[in-house]
Amino acid sequence: MKTFVVGVDSVDSLYGGCTTHFTVFLIKKLLLQGYELIDLPHLVRLNQFIPWKTRGNASVGFIVKTEKDDVSSHDLVKIVKISLESYGGDVIGREPGIAVLEANEEKSSWIQRLYLFYKKAVHDYVASTYFESNVASNEISFWGGRGVLGAVAAIGYTLQTLPHTFELIAYRKPENMGKKRAIIDESIKNIETKSAGALFNNYNYNEEKAVAAPRGPDPVLLGLRGIDPYMMIDLAKEIELGEEPDAWMIFATNQHLDEHFRLLKVNELRTYSSGYIEGVVEENPRVYRKGHVVVKLRDDTGAVAVYFFSPTKPMNKIAMNLRRGDYIGVLGGAKPSGETLVFEAHKLWVYESPVDIQIINPPCPVCGHRLKSDGIRGMKCSSCGYSTPFKYKTVEMKNRRHYLKGIYTPLPGRINHLVRPSWIDIAVKEASYSPEILIQKLLMLSNYFV
C-alpha cells in the first residue's frame, strides 16, 4: 500500500477553468483507476497580494492510497498531467503546476519543511530560486510552470492537522457553463439564518444579495462557506439552485482564519508581504471622493500609508473617524506605489481612541449659530447678521470616541478569503469529521462519483 499527497494549482484563469473543478475531475479519474481518497481535499488560499494571481489565489491538495506497489510519484504526476490535458479548461495566460509526494515514515522530516514553505507562500512572494534551494529535490515530483509553487504549498498544508473551515461547492453541467445563474438568493439567506452561525459569508444582509455564487464563466455554481460540514450538506438540499449540478465536493480549507496574520514592524514590510502591523495614527485621515481612506500609521521603526478602499465598508467608515494619536492594528499586505510601499488593509483593530479636542468659536448670542472672525473688526454671525467689535474667547469641545474601539472587517462578499470575519465568532476546532460519512452524504446530492 502506498500513500501519495497531490498538489494542484493555476488550472483557472480570468476566462474560465477552475482548480477545484479540475481536482474533482481528477479525483474521479483516480477512483476509477483503483485509488482511494483519504480525507477531504484541501482548498488552500495563498498570498492575496500577488498581482498575477486570480482573485482567490487558491491551490488544492489531497491524499490518495493505492495497492499498486509499482506506482511512483513520477507516475502519478504523469497521470495528473494527462488528466489536465483532457480536462480542457481554458487556462490561457496561466502556468498550471502539479506536485506529488510519496508519504512515508522516511519522509517525515519533509513535513515541517513543506509546512514552512506553505507559510511563506501565504505571507510572501516566493521566488523560484527559493523553491529550488529549499524544496526542490528528488523527494518530490513536479511538473509545470509557476503553479508548481502553489501545488507544493498545498501539499505542505494538507500534511498538517490544522484548524480549518469548510467550503461546499456545486459545479455546473457543461451545457450550462457560461449561462446566467438562476439561484434564488432568498433560499441562501434562509439556510444561513437557520444554521445559527454554522454557515457564514454567504449572504450580504446590507445589500440583500447572495454572495455564495460567482458571476463569471467558471464552472462553479455555488460555494457555501461554514464550519459544520454535516449541516452544510444537509442545508444545501434546501437551496433553489435553478439548475441541476453536475457534481458536489466539500473542501477543508484555511479560509477565514486570519492565516496571514504575523507580527511585523513597518521596516520589515517587503513588496507583496502580508501580516499585521500596529502603531499610532500620525495624522488625521485623508478621505477621497469615492470613499477611499488613507491613514498614516507609525511604529518605532517607521511610518507607512495604510489604504482602506471604498469596498471595505464599514471598515473604511471607521477609518474615516480615526484621529491623530489613536492606537490601531491592521492586518493586510504591502504593495508598491511609485517608489514607496503602501499597506492595503484587510482588517482593523482600534485599541485606543483618546478624547478628540476641537477649538471652536463661541455661539451667536442671538441665534445660537457659531460666530466667525470678521478680521480686525471682531466677530459676526453669517446666519442672523449679528456682529460685535470684540473677539470672544474660543471654546474647547471634547468629542469622546470610545465607541470606535473594536475589530472591523468588510461585509460579506467583500471580505478577503483569508480574513476571519468580525461579525461572527468562528469556533474552529481540530479535525473532528469523518471523510467517509461526508463523501456518502455528497453522493446523496450527486451521482458524479458513482
pLDDT at residue 431, rounded to an integer: 45
Average pLDDT in the chain: 88
pLDDT at residue 326, rounded to an integer: 94
Residue where the block lists cell 471595505: 312
Domain assignment present for 418: no
Residue 104 has pLDDT above 80, yes or no: no
Which is nearest to 424 in space by CA: 263, 225, 161, 253? 225
Residue 81 has pLDDT above 70, yes or no: yes
Looking at 114, 141, 160, which one is the last position of a domain?
A: 160
Is residue 275 within 8 Å of 123, Cβ to Cβ?
Answer: yes
Same domain, 175 and 205: yes
Rounded to an integer, the average pLDDT of 115-129 is 94
pLDDT at residue 399, rounded to an integer: 67
Residue 386 has pLDDT above 70, yes or no: yes
Domain assignment present for 443: no
Separation between Cα atoms, residue 255 and residue 253, nearest integer Å: 5
Is residue 39 within 8 Å of 154, Cβ to Cβ?
Answer: no
pLDDT at residue 430, rounded to an integer: 45
Residues 6+ apart with CB under 8 A from 102: 2, 3, 4, 72, 73
Residue 152 has pLDDT above 80, yes or no: yes
Rounded to an integer, the average pLDDT of 173-177 is 90
Provide the residue range defining the domain that includes 308: 266-355+400-408
Rounded to an integer, the average pLDDT of 184-189 is 96
Distance between alpha carbon 450 and the CA centroid of its chain, in Å?
A: 33
Which residues is 17 bridged to in the sheet? 12
Is residue 246 within 8 Å of 172, Cβ to Cβ?
Answer: yes
Asked, as a colleague might, if the bond just before 363 is cis with ω within 30 of 0, I would say no
Which is nearest to 257 in space by CA: 424, 442, 438? 424
Domain assignment present for 175: yes
Same domain, 182 and 276: no
Separation between Cα atoms, residue 20 and residue 132, nearest integer Å: 26
Which residues is 302 bridged to in the sheet? 299
Looking at 253, 276, 307, which one is the last position of a domain?
A: 253
> 3-state SS string over the chain?
CEEEEEEEECCEECCEECHHHHHHHHHHHHHHCCCEEEEEEEEEECCCCCCCCCCCCEEEEEEEEECCCCCCHHHHHHHHHHHHHHHCCCCCCCCCEEEEEECCHHHHHHHHHHHHHHHHHHHCCCCHHHHHHHCCCCCEEEEECCHHHHHHHHHHHHCCCCCCEEEEEEECCHHHCCCCCCCCHHHHHHHHHHCCCCECCCEECCCCEECCCCCCCCCEEEEEEECCHHHHHHHHCCCCCCCCCCEEEEEEECCCCCCCCCECCHHHCCCCCEEEEEEEEEEEEEECCCCCEEEEEEECCEEEEEEECHHHCCHHHHHHCCCCCCEEEEEEEEEEECCEEEEEEEEEEEEECCCEEEEECCECCCCCCECEECHHHCEECCCCCCEECCCCCCEEEEECCHHHCEEECCCCCCCCCCCCCCCCCCCCCCCCCCHHHHHHHHHHHCCCCC
User: What CATH number is given to the structural domain containing 337?
Assistant: 2.40.50.1010
Residue 149 has pLDDT above 50, yes or no: yes
Separation between Cα atoms, residue 332 and residue 32, nearest integer Å: 43
Same domain, 27 and 151: yes
User: What CATH number is given to the structural domain containing 212?
Assistant: 3.90.600.20
Which is nearest to 60 in space by CA: 106, 24, 104? 24
pLDDT at residue 15, rounded to an integer: 57
Same domain, 321 and 273: yes
Rounded to an integer, the average pLDDT of 130-157 is 90
**335 compared with 356, residue with greater pLDDT:** 335
Of all residues in the chain, the percent with pLDDT exceeding 70 is: 92
Is residue 312 within 8 Å of 300, Cβ to Cβ?
Answer: no
Looking at 108, 142, 160, which one is the last position of a domain?
A: 160
Same domain, 349 and 363: no
Q: What is the dihedral of CA 266, 269, 272, 278, to 10 degrees?
A: -30
Give the number of other CB atoms < 10 A from CB of residue 18: 26
Domain assignment present for 24: yes
Of the ranges 74-78, 109-113, 289-293, 361-365, the best mean pLDDT one = 74-78
Residues 6+ apart with CB under 8 A from 365: 386
User: What CATH number is given to the structural domain containing 79?
Assistant: 3.30.70.2200
Residues 6+ apart with CB under 8 A from 376: none
For the stretch 423-439, pLDDT in tens is: 777 665 544 677 778 87
Same domain, 192 and 290: no
Same domain, 7 and 150: yes
Domain assignment present for 192: yes
pLDDT at residue 449, rounded to an integer: 64
Same domain, 147 and 217: no
Domain assignment present for 424: no
pLDDT at residue 1, rounded to an integer: 87
Of the ranges 63-72, 105-114, 368-377, the best mean pLDDT one = 63-72
Length of the chain in terms of residues written: 450
**445 compared with 221, residue with greater pLDDT:** 221
Is residue 292 within 8 Å of 308, Cβ to Cβ?
Answer: yes
Same domain, 223 and 362: no
Which is nearest to 399 in space by CA: 356, 361, 428, 433? 356
Same domain, 121 and 195: no
Same domain, 97 and 242: no
Kindly indicate the confidence band of residue 341, based on its pLDDT and cuts at 50, 70 and 90. Answer: very high
For the stretch 22-54, pLDDT in tens is: 999 999 999 999 999 988 999 999 999 998 776
Separation between Cα atoms, residue 360 and residue 336, nearest integer Å: 40
pLDDT at residue 273, rounded to an integer: 97
Domain assignment present for 258: no
Domain assignment present for 128: yes
Rounded to an integer, the average pLDDT of 141-153 is 93
**Number of structural domains, the chain?**
4
Is residue 255 within 8 Å of 225, Cβ to Cβ?
Answer: yes
Same domain, 22 and 128: yes
For the stretch 271-316, pLDDT in tens is: 999 999 999 999 999 999 888 999 999 999 999 999 999 999 999 9
Kind of pairing between the strands at 36-45 and 247-253: parallel
pLDDT at residue 390, rounded to an integer: 80
